[in-house]
A and B are shown apart, each in its own frame.
Chain A
Amino acid sequence: MNETIPQAVDGDMAVELSGVNKWYGKFHVLRDINLSVRPGEKIVICGPSGSGKSTMIRCINRLEEHQSGRIVVDGVELTGDLKRIDEVRRDVGMVFQSFNLFPHLTILENCVLAPVWVRKTPRKQAEEQAMKFLTRVRIPEQANKYPGQLSGGQQQRVAIARALCMNPKIMLFDEPTSALDPEMVKEVLDTMVSLAAEGMTMLCVTHEMGFARQVADRVVFMDAGEIVEANAPGEFFANPQHERTRAFLGQILH
């Protein structure tokens, strides 16, 4: 569909979107999206609200369906095939703006649910692993509480630990700090920074430009359903190429 993406790199890329289009009814939300993410690469996606950022990363684990173009995740192309979709979802962790922890389960149960039922890990081993990740996000002492008893920042760190318990190859973050009080943003971002330092492949929709500068290999700017500009963060912030990028940055950076 698009000549600039050679087919040969398919297998090497962690995520590959080529010529992706999506409509909600008549509304064209994603317009000819082309994006390749190398293993270990950190991508920050920004743009005004309604620009299709969330929709794009939700297409990567097929929470949203794209209507044309190709999406290949870790060598598996996403089609209507439910088996493949579950295969992709097992290897792609996702963190949501609203945490989406399961309120009827304790923190530890939240973390072991998918490893036990989807990966068939023995419960004991899954619990040990969960405690390891909860320690890493610095809340092992909350393991037996329920999500409703935790602060927003703690809940989001649990959500990250829960995703990590599946040993994902790729992590998607959909505005992970937007629902948090300002003093809790940092604790979540710190967790994400340390995750990035370990070499995780990350696609992150966020307005935290400090985070983008610090960890992103590339910053992607979207507007009105298309990728307007993608560049290394230094270049992106210092020298935006496109008029729309400059307008957007002018509004959020002071």
Chain B
Amino acid sequence: MADARSVAYVRTQAAPVLPPPALSDGALGWLRANLFSGPFSAIFTVLAVAFIAWVAPGLIRYLFIDAVWTANDGASCRSPEVGACWAYIGQKLPFFMYGSYPREWVWRVNMTLVVGAALIVWLLAPKAPAKQIGAFLFFVVYPLLGFILLSGWEKIGLPKIDTDVWGGVFVSLLVSAVGIVVSLPGGVLLAMGRRSTLPVVRIASVIFIEFVRGVPLITVLFMANFMLPLFLPENWTPDRLLRPLVGVSLFASAYMAEVVRGGLQAMPKGQFEGAMALGLGYGRLMRLVVLPQALTKVIPGIVNTFIGLFKDTTLVAVVGIYDFLRAVDTARLDPVWAGPNISTTGYIFAALFYFIFCFGMSRYSQYMERSLAKDRLR
């Protein structure tokens, strides 16, 4: 010790703890780091601020200040000075939500949506208890309940309501939910099939995936619409809503299969070997060891596919299904409301609806990724 102290370069006192220089901390530091970190960054910041300053006032005026909030018909929305016609959205909201579903039975749709939302929250909330029960209710009980509620069952006093009159947001959500719920397990099975060592399974999976992925969704929907009945016994005509549901599910499964396969490819061989060496058979090895890791790795891709699927459901309109966008598109032709702002308002509303759902999915997936990464620190 005495020797060390006498050497010139050995510190004898702890270095003082100093506050950071003003420019690297606080609001000023944040500005510098995030907005003006270099010449390009500074130029883009200025341009972006200029753009916002240019666009925002008009947008705010159109959407809020000049907007018509209450009206009984389109008269007050037709003046060229006014902005968005929110009164029209308010009036048409039931049509946007339920299509032509009989108004006195709309509670059946609402109940289906509320129960579904509650179950989804139960399943997705990170610390919710008894998820197995929740999963059973959502994947087994809920589809039956939803089917009975929506399409009716005379025996318990719910008259049958034909899918011809279903429409609006609830059909969009229905098609997306079915597509999402079918495509994940379907994609997992197809991905595992494509990696199978059994040639028949592998070739069948490859043909299915490549064929379905190789044609546009519209083609798949037309095929489901016109060809599905040909494959079925003559006396059984599939419901006209069921056909696009099948089409969308097949299409999404093929895409999902490739996303999941990406995750499986990324798994180190050691994980398979470690599980095999413990005596786990193929099924348990996949279910307990490989899939939980592989699916976590590809959460961004899975959610990407879900978001794509959610927006693609608008295409079911081509086979005559009244989804939300089609409802918006039809409502604007109503002569009571017709006017220069009606279409714009309707499409802004539709855009907001899709954005809120897609952005919600994206945020949830980011949150999931973060919380999974925090748990495992790798």
Contacts and interface: CB of A to CB of B under 8 A. Distances in A.
Contact of A103 (B273, B280, B293): B293
A63 interface: yes
B276 A117 contact: no
A27 B292 CA distance: 36
A104 B278 contact: no
A178 interface: no
A103 B270 CA distance: 12
Given A104-B292, A113-B288, A89 B273 contact: no
Interface string A106-125: 00000001100110000000
B274 A100 contact: yes
A166 B278 contact: yes
Contacts of A149: 377
B280 A63 contact: no
Contacts of A113: 278, 280, 288-289
A86 B377 contact: no
B240 to A, nearest CB: 43
Given A98-B270, A102-B289, A117-B288, A93 B280 contact: no
A83 to B, nearest CB: 9
Counting chain B CB atoms within 10 Å of each CB, which of A82, A103, A149 scores highest? A103
Interface in B285-303: 288-289, 292-293, 296
B270 A96 contact: yes
Interface string B244-274: 0000000000000000000000001011011
Nearest to B290: A102
Contacts of A63: 273, 276-277
Residues of B contacting A: mostly: helix
Contacts of B292: 104
A201 interface: no
Interface string A23-43: 000000000000000000000
Contacts of B281: 82, 86
Contacts of B289: 102, 113
A63 B271 CA distance: 12
Interface residues of A, number: 27
Given A103-B378, A146-B375, A148-B378, A86 B279 contact: yes
B284 interface: yes
Contacts of A82: 281
A166 B292 CA distance: 23
A61 interface: yes
A104 B279 contact: no
A100 B271 contact: yes
A233 to B, nearest CB: 27
Interface in A141-179: 146, 148-149, 162-163, 166
B269 to A, nearest CB: 9
B103 interface: no
Given A100-B270, A104-B293, A148-B378, A93 B277 contact: yes
B377 A148 contact: yes
Contacts of A90: 279
Nearest to A83: B281
Contacts of B279: 86, 89-90, 114, 118, 166
Contact of B277 (A94, A98, A117): A94
A96 B274 contact: yes
Contacts of B273: 63, 96, 100
Interface in B217-251: none
Contacts of A131: none
Nearest to B376: A146
Interface string B334-378: 000000000000000000000000000000000000000001111
B237 to A, nearest CB: 45
A61 B377 CA distance: 32
A109 B206 CA distance: 36
Nearest to A148: B378
A58 to B, nearest CB: 8
Nearest to A90: B279
A163 B375 CA distance: 24
Interface in B127-153: none
A61 B293 CA distance: 25
A118 B277 CA distance: 12
Contacts of A89: 276-279
* 6 residue pairs, one from A and one from B, having the closest CB atoms: A100-B274, A148-B378, A114-B278, A90-B279, A94-B277, A100-B270
Given A63-B277, A96-B273, A103-B378, 4 more contacts: A86-B281, A96-B277, A99-B270, A163-B277
